[in-house]
């Protein structure tokens, strides 16, 4: 785990040993350090109480050290998790909106798409009818130019000098001449 700026220093457990070792030795040997005789053991109950007290102190100190080392990272991870949960919620809302648009035939987007499609179909029909009108005018014009008795239309032969204009070439292409 990496150290973060502003986080409390992470203490290894090694500095605790010199502090707690004399207390632990005193409790285990039963020597109180202030007795008249250094070899005279203290009462067993006092030794057990001392040992229990030392272990409690040791565990609480270790717990504080571990908490101070881990809490900043846990807080950072909790913040990241909250951010990811927020993003996930936003994405779920967006997905619901997208699915709603795709499923709802009366949605604004669908209505606009239908209007555009209808306009394109109408425009195509208008264009086709105008092309047909121009083609019929070209056919009439060619009939006037060719004179009476000349067949103009599908399967008719038109002299090369007459069939050289762009409109006439288009008429040939669409099978109108």
Residues 6+ apart with CB under 8 A from 39: 31
**pLDDT value for 67:** 77
Distance, CA of 173 to CA of 37 (rounded, Å): 127
Write out pLDDT tens, residues 14-57: 566 666 667 666 666 655 544 444 445 556 666 677 777 777 88
Are 121 and 80 contained in the same domain? no
State how far the Cα of 23 lies from the Cα of 19, in Å rounded to an integer: 8
pLDDT value for 92: 87
Predicted pLDDT of residue 76 = 85
Tally of domains in the chain: 2
> In which band, very low, low, confident or very high, does the pLDDT at 102 lie, cut at 50, 70 and 90?
low
Question: What pLDDT, on the 0 to 100 scale, is given for residue 80?
Answer: 87
Tokens linked to 165: 């204009």
Location of structure tokens 């004399």: 22
Q: Is residue 10 in a domain?
A: no
| 40 and 84 housed in the same domain | yes
Question: Are 64 and 88 contained in the same domain?
Answer: yes
Check whether residue 63 and residue 43 sit in a common domain: yes
| Cβ atoms of 112 and 47 closer than 8 Å | no
Give the pLDDT of residue 36: 44
Does 147 score more than 80 pLDDT? no
* Structure confidence at residue 161 (pLDDT): 47
Claim to verify: residue 133 and residue 81 sit in the same structural domain: no
Out of 41-55, 73-87, 116-130, the most confident range is 73-87
The continuous run of DSSP H or E covering 131 comes out as helix 108-146
Phi, psi of 159 (to 5 degrees): -60, 150
Q: Is the pLDDT of residue 120 over 70?
A: yes
The residue out of 50, 68, 103 marking a domain boundary is 103
In a domain, 114, yes or no: yes
Residue 119 has pLDDT above 70, yes or no: yes
Q: Range of 157's domain? A: 109-173
> Do 48 and 79 lie in a common domain?
yes
69 vs 4: CA distance, rounded Å: 10
Mean pLDDT throughout 2-15?
Answer: 54
Same-domain pairing of 91 and 130: no
pLDDT single digits (tens) 105-114: 566 777 777 8
Kindly report the number of other CB atoms within 10 A of residue 36's CB atom: 6
- The mean pLDDT value for 86-92 works out to 88
CA distance 127 to 133: 10
């Amino acid at each position: 785990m990496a150290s973060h700026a502003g986080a409390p220093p992470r203490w290894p457990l090694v500095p605790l040993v010199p502090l707690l070792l004399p207390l632990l030795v005193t409790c285990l040997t039963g020597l109180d350090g202030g007795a008249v005789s250094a070899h005279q053991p203290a009462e067993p109950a006092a030794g057990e109480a001392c040992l229990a007290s030392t272990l409690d102190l040791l565990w609480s100190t270790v717990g504080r050290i571990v908490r101070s080392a881990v809490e900043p990272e846990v807080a950072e991870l909790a913040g990241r998790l909250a951010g990811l949960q927020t993003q996930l919620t936003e994405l779920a809302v967006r997905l619901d909106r997208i699915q709603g648009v795709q499923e709802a035939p009366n949605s604004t987007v669908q209505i606009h798409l239908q209007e555009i499609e209808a306009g394109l179909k109408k425009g195509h029909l208008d264009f086709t009818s105008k092309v047909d009108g121009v083609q019929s005018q070209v056919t009439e014009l060619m009939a006037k130019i060719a004179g009476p008795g000349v067949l103009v239309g599908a399967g008719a032969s038109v002299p090369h000098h007459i069939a050289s204009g762009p409109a006439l070439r288009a008429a040939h292409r669409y099978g109108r001449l």
